[in-house]
Structure 1
Amino acid sequence: MVRYKAGLMQKLFSQQLRFTQDDGMTFPNWEEKRLGDVFTWVKTNSLSREFLTYDEGIVQNIHYGDIHTKFRALFRQSTEAVPFIAPNSGLKTFSDEEYCQIGDVVIADASEDFADIGKAIEIVEVRERSLVAGLHTYIARPKTGSLVLGFSGYLLRSEPMRRQIVRIAQGISVLGISKGNLEKLTFWLPHPDEQKKIADALAAMDAKIQAVADQITKFQTFKKGLLQQMFV
């Protein structure tokens, strides 16, 4: 199912597979854009893991390592395990602009390998003034109404975008990418209604993949408990 989703994404973002409007008519042609045309940058902090805690807190902080390893393309604060900023961090307040907002894209700007450099998540659910982004992250905030919620998270993980990101990554032991180079990345942007169809289709695939993963976890837990009872 994961491979099927990867194949579906490749066909959708290469325009080999196109959706039609509800009346059967074709959507308008996609428009070529640069990342800098549709996003603006928002300030992030530089807190490392030592200043984060999973104990109770007020403001949660997105760490780039969690983007690499566990956060979904469409990030929902209520379902993700995000650490809080610890009292010893020295950071007390943030401007309204620095808090993550719905539609923001958070990009990991550093990695030890090409697979995770530039990996991104889109914030699709967040509580007000409760989430910021930290060490080795950029927040790209949509500056026009041309992006449909849920589309950007998949766009930034599509094969055409990933190929470009790998090309602009620089470094030897640790790879990095700059905002200036990210702004130059090009992509094809569909009509908002077609964006929604793409986002809905991929989100439905993700939901099925997660449901299967949850079933496997439950089965493994059941099996482990059963074996323990058998050999007591």
Structure 2
Amino acid sequence: MSKAPKLRFKEFSGDWEEKKLGKLGEFKKTYSFSRNVEGEGNYKHIHYGDIHMNYNGIISKDKYIPSIDIPSDDSYEFIKERDIIFADASEDRKDLGKVAVVRDIEGNVLSGLHTICFRPNESLNSEFFLNHSLNKEYLKFMYTRGNGAKVLGISKSNLSEYKFLAPSKEEQEKIASFFSLIDDKISLQGEKLEMLKDYKRGMMQKIFSRELRFKDDDGRDYPEWEEKKFKDFTKINQGLQIPISERYTTEGENRYFYITNEFLKSDSETKYYIENPSESVICYEDDILMTRTGNTGKVVTGVKGAFHNNFFKIAYDKEKYDRMFLYYILTSHKMQKNIIRLAGSSTIPDLNHSDFYNIKVKLPIIEEQKKIADLLIRLDSKISKEQEKLDSLNEYKKGLLQQMFV
């Protein structure tokens, strides 16, 4: 195994040295205060859930750190800048041992529930270790050492034994600074993307509440929107459930792509096909599908195939209603809340035909529908381009991590 990375700053050479984490600092006291004590108080805490979801590797005064309402105690040990905080529990094995580094904080902050606080000595740069923790060697260690059934855990003693290759402190600092610049770009791009999404949400709210109206090509007002129930202008077909034994993994004559809930998962790679489905369970690019059970209310359009009975196909008069306008009104915040409420709160929510048919909605004439849809399509196009930039930056970082760490 090579002891030097493939890609390196030119002023450094030689092999990296094997280090044991337990020899590079000391573990500090942590506390088991849970969410139910959050509120107004003199102390704050790092909860393992926030390491998983909110901090993105960096704990600073710019991030929201919850206050906790607990009695004052002079014996508390507070976290400090450069501390490394591990999430010692996770339901997902790939997130076990997830790391966040304390960069700049204000106030008295405790390392809280299901966390491990490690204070490195001068030979380890915290943010170097943060980036190291994203590579496959660290993830492999967590995979093999994590224990538990539904919730996995990692102990201080196991972390203490973790061995990894590291360069001199000077090279660690340069690597950490370099990745900090990349992370800043990723963060700015992420903020730009969220601003666009917020703008779209705001526009949709104004449009569907009719606070914002369009005019025709001659500058005249369009007619008022007309209230209808979905049963007045749509017809629902339910899909069909095909057992695994009757599904194919390759295309062929008379085979149709089989649209299931798996299709909605961005990381799904498996595609199934079924033979000779009836016309009633085939959807085309200009049709609209919506999940009726499980992840209820998810809307799909622009795809051709036969669909599972977890879906409704929503048919409509294409001369009176614009497909993308209906797509956007179905995905609007108010409509989604209504659909989810009607599906119920059982273990497996299920929206029935009659409940959907009786949902009331206000609709403009098709000319205004098209103008609304065109605006939102343009916004989605901008969002898609900014998402591609963010994905590209993340892939760039991923590639560098593979080349700049051993």
TM-score by length of 2: 0.48
- 2:95 maps to 1:116: yes
Cα shift at 1:152: 2.4
- 2:188 maps to 1:177: no
Instruction: Give the 5 Å matches for 1:1-232.
Output: 15-21=5-11, 26-53=12-39, 56-76=40-60, 78-86=61-69, 89=70, 91-95=71-75, 98-127=77-106, 130-142=108-120, 144-230=121-207, 231-232=210-211
Work out whether residues 27 and 194 of structure 1, in 8 Å CA contact, stay in contact via their aligned partners in 2.
Answer: no
RMSD: 1.9
Residues 102-142 of structure 1: per-residue CA shift (max 9 Å, x gap): 11111111111102211111111123x51111111110111
Amino acid at match of 2:48: Y
Q: Could you tell me how far apart the structure 1 residues matched to 2:91 and 2:9 are?
A: 37
Cα shift at 1:28: 4.0
SS in 1 for 2:41: coil
Q: Which residue of 1 aligns with 2:360?
A: none
* Change in 2 beyond 3 A, CA 1:65/1:149: closer
Residues 193-229 of structure 1: per-residue CA shift (max 9 Å, x gap): 2111211121111111111111112112222333444
Indicate the percent of aligned positions where both proteins have the same amino acid: 33
Q: Could you tell me how far apart the structure 1 residues matched to 2:198 and 2:153 are?
A: 39
Amino acid at match of 1:168: R
Q: Could you tell me how far apart the structure 1 residues matched to 2:163 and 2:188 are?
A: 34
Q: Could you tell me how far apart the structure 2 residues matched to 1:151 and 1:75 are?
A: 15
Work out whether residues 4 and 16 of structure 2, in 8 Å CA contact, stay in contact via their aligned partners in 1.
Answer: no
Q: Could you tell me how far apart the structure 2 residues matched to 1:95 and 1:17 are?
A: 46
Amino acid at match of 2:63: E
SS in 2 for 1:170: coil
Amino acid at match of 2:93: F
SS in 1 for 2:13: coil
Work out whether residues 100 and 126 of structure 1, in 8 Å CA contact, stay in contact via their aligned partners in 2.
Answer: no
Amino acid at match of 1:57: G
Q: Could you tell me how far apart the structure 2 residues matched to 1:219 and 1:201 are?
A: 28
Cα shift at 1:39: 2.3
Q: Could you tell me how far apart the structure 2 residues matched to 1:207 and 1:63 are?
A: 24
Residues 148-188 of structure 1: per-residue CA shift (max 9 Å, x gap): 35222222333221211111000111111111111111111
Cα shift at 1:36: 0.7
How many residue pairs match? The answer is 207
Amino acid at match of 1:43: K
Amino acid at match of 1:111: S
Q: Could you tell me how far apart the structure 1 residues matched to 2:147 and 2:169 are?
A: 34
Amino acid at match of 2:112: G
SS in 2 for 1:58: strand
Q: Which runs of 5+ in 1 are unaligned?
A: 1-12
Cα shift at 1:94: 4.5
Amino acid at match of 1:75: I
Q: Which runs of 5+ in 2 are unaligned?
A: 212-406
* Change in 2 beyond 3 A, CA 1:51/1:167: same
